[in-house]
Structure 1
Amino acid sequence: MGRVRTLVRDTLGTLLSAIGMTDLSRRQAGRLLVVTFHRVLPQALREKYPFPGLAVTPEELSWFLAFLKDHAPPAPLAPAFESWQNAPAGNAPTIAVTFDDAQWDNYEYARPVLQHHGIKATFYAPVNAVGTEQSLWHDRLGFAVRELLGKGEEHQLKEALSDRELPCLPHLDSDSVTQAAKTLPPEQRHNLVEALVRATGTTTCPEWNRLMNWEELKTLAQDGHEIGSHGLSHELLPQCTEQVLTREVVESKSRIEERLGRDVLSFCYPNGDVDDRTEGAVRTAGYKAAVSTRWGTNSTATSPWSLRRCDINSAHFVDRHGTLSRSRAALRLSGLQPGL
């Protein structure tokens, strides 16, 4: 069934592309298309990362940027949003490129690719982890689960999970445990992460998994890239108290502005989680725009503080031969069949 579905998808993509039905310049004309990247890792490192779907290789990133450039000149979120708001509906989409989490690999591997293509982007930084050796909570959890399963210590993993109020896990792997952990209140989630890390007996995360430091972020800003806020601690904001929520959106903005000497104009909701209260807090804090992880493009009716994005998982853009496909990318980003 999977092979048949893939063949149908590829055939449909090729046919629709040939007649211009999935041409982004036509399908998304006058709309704001925001694409999302997370990790940019060489294949050897991606194979070691517990969430490979969040990573593209430098070569894949270059392919995607070239594809986007063929339809409109990509830009950082804030200037792209401003020009899109001020310009009448045109014959092409407005395209913004964003990177979540400000990981060191974005500086090491994405920056040269962006320079090669002459593209500026937005990097969203979770402020408390910038310049530290501390990985974000989901990476610590993911590496811990991978470490325990890799050592054949499934019993220790199950024991650490047993007394938690977690939903039923479809699989015992990093993805499933992380998704389940997101349902826990913040304190319980942090306790689970610490329990799993202790069970490994190691620090679990490799050195290359760190975030950027302030000097690296400053260099990106000097290159012309936008640095936006991803909160302080990558907390899931709808779960936070009013006091914590306000601190996450206000203090993160002021600290980046103080360290970089530039206005912070846009916000990225950690995990994409946003509700009316969270959106209101971000708007009140003075951000001009904010992005979620809801799939899709944006019309002028979309709230500036709840913009949709298209997350780039390279596995969703390859044809049945495993090759990145322009017709497949056009079909997925056209809005006709994003789930194919």
Structure 2
Amino acid sequence: MTCKIIALMFHRVEDQSQHYSHEQFSRYLSYLKQHFPIVVPGDPLPQDGIAICLTFDDAYFDFYQFVYPLLRQHQIKAILAVSPYYIVEETVLDSASRLAVPYPQGMENNLHQTKVPFCTWQELQEMANSHWVQIAAHGYKHANLASKTANFQEEVIISKKMLENKLRTQVAYFIYPYGKMSRFAHKMVSSVYDYGFRIGSSLNQGWDQKRKMIYRIDADPLWTEMRPIDDRLIKQLSIKYWLNRLRRK
């Protein structure tokens, strides 16, 4: 049998506009740690059963403020997707002001400069130096790579080089902005990254090293409502996996 991997997609864990609470997220993370091995690509997998991969998009400041301490506390790893264009070197703004920018407005109206809702390069460097946070590219300006007008060189190649140069760490994963991609985009991504993560609403049958593709599911309905990862959900995600493969998605 093959270990099945469920890659969970998160954005914010503290956002008053969506009534998201980091205390609730902390309880859900404790539930996951208690019931499943939590892995990133390259970690050894059990022979069967379910493993969980944690992925966080956009690198909002609440990841550094709330998630990163929990990862250290539980000694588990997560992948953080970063779009370098929106990252500033450092800031003296207080935490409350930075957390007050609601999702997904952080990338609008130059707020990344004036309100600094995302992690700074300084904060990202601290996390990249730790054992618990793997940095992934998330495009340079978070462009939709299903669009033919996207600047693929900038989004795929330049984003990787900038992250690696600034953070002095290997960037082996690309997380598609909006979860969307094209065959052309994935061909480029596969040439320079170990894996590309997309939204597929399904689980994964191990790490797909041939296609370099990892499906993710939207985790917000799970953690905000404390829904378990039970047999019913696993069956639904398994069916969607095979539908994705039949449709060559």
TM-score, normalised with respect to structure 2: 0.78
Whose strand proportion is higher, 1 or 2?
2
Offset of residue 33 of structure 1: 1.5
Question: Judging changes above 3 Å, is the alpha-carbon distance between structure 1 residues 103 and 257 closer, same or farther for their aligned structure 2 residues?
Answer: same
Q: CA deviation at 1:307?
A: 1.3
1:181-204 C-alpha deviation (Å, 9 max, x unpaired): xxxxxxxxxxxx7xxx6xxxxx78
In structure 1, the partner of 2:168 is 261
Alignment of 1:336 with 2:236, yes or no, is yes
Q: How far is the alpha carbon of 1:220 from its aligned partner?
A: 0.7
Q: Cα distance 1:254–1:116, how it changes in 2: closer, same or farther (>3 A)?
A: same
Q: Is 1:235 paired with 2:143?
A: yes
**Kept in 2: contact 1:236–1:270 (CA 8 A):** yes
Hey, what does 1:146 align to over in structure 2?
A: none
Deviation at 1:248, TM superposition (A): 1.0
1:248 is matched with 155
Partner of 1:297: 203
Distance 1:207 1:61, change over 3 A: farther
Distance in 1, matches of 2:207 and 2:125, equals 34
**Secondary structure of the equivalent of 1:335?**
helix
Q: What do the CA deviations read for 1:90-133 (whole angstroms, capped 9, x no partner)?
A: 13323211111011111011112222222121100001111179
Residue 14 of structure 2 corresponds to residue 57 of structure 1: no
1:111 and 2:68 correspond: yes
Match of 2:8 in 1: 35
Aligned pairs for 1:64-143 (under 5 A) are: 64-75=28-39, 77-80=40-43, 83-84=44-45, 90-131=47-88, 138-139=104-105
C-alpha spacing 1:222/1:281, structure 2 compared with 1 (3 Å): same
> Which structure 1 residue ranges, 5 or more long, are not aligned?
1-27, 142-192, 198-202, 319-323
CA–CA separation in structure 2 for the residues paired with 1:337 and 1:234: 27
2:198 match: secondary structure: strand
Check 1:34–1:271 CA distance in 2 against 1; reply closer, same or farther (3 A cut).
Answer: same
What's the counterpart of residue 120 of structure 2? 213
Contact 2:4/2:50 (CA < 8 Å) preserved in 1? yes
* 1:228-283 per-position Cα deviation (integer Å, ceiling 9, x unaligned): 100100000121447x1122111111111111111111010000001211110101
Larger radius of gyration: 1
- Deviation per CA, 1:43-87: give whole Å up to 9, x if none: xxx23x3xx2xx742222222222222333213x3334xx35xxx
Alignment of structure 1 residues 135-174 onto 2, 5 Å: 138-139=104-105
Shift, 1:330, TM fit: 2.1
Do 1:56 and 1:314's aligned partners in 2 also have CA atoms closer than 8 Å? no
The structure that is helix-richer by fraction is 1
Matched to 1:60, the amino acid is Q
Q: Which amino acid aligns with 1:288?
A: D
Normalization by structure 1: what TM-score? 0.58
Name the Cα RMSD after superposition: 3.4
Summarize deviations over 1:136-190 as a string: whole Å, max 9, x none: 995168xxxxxxxxxxxxxxxxxxxxxxxxxxxxxxxxxxxxxxxxxxxxxxxxx
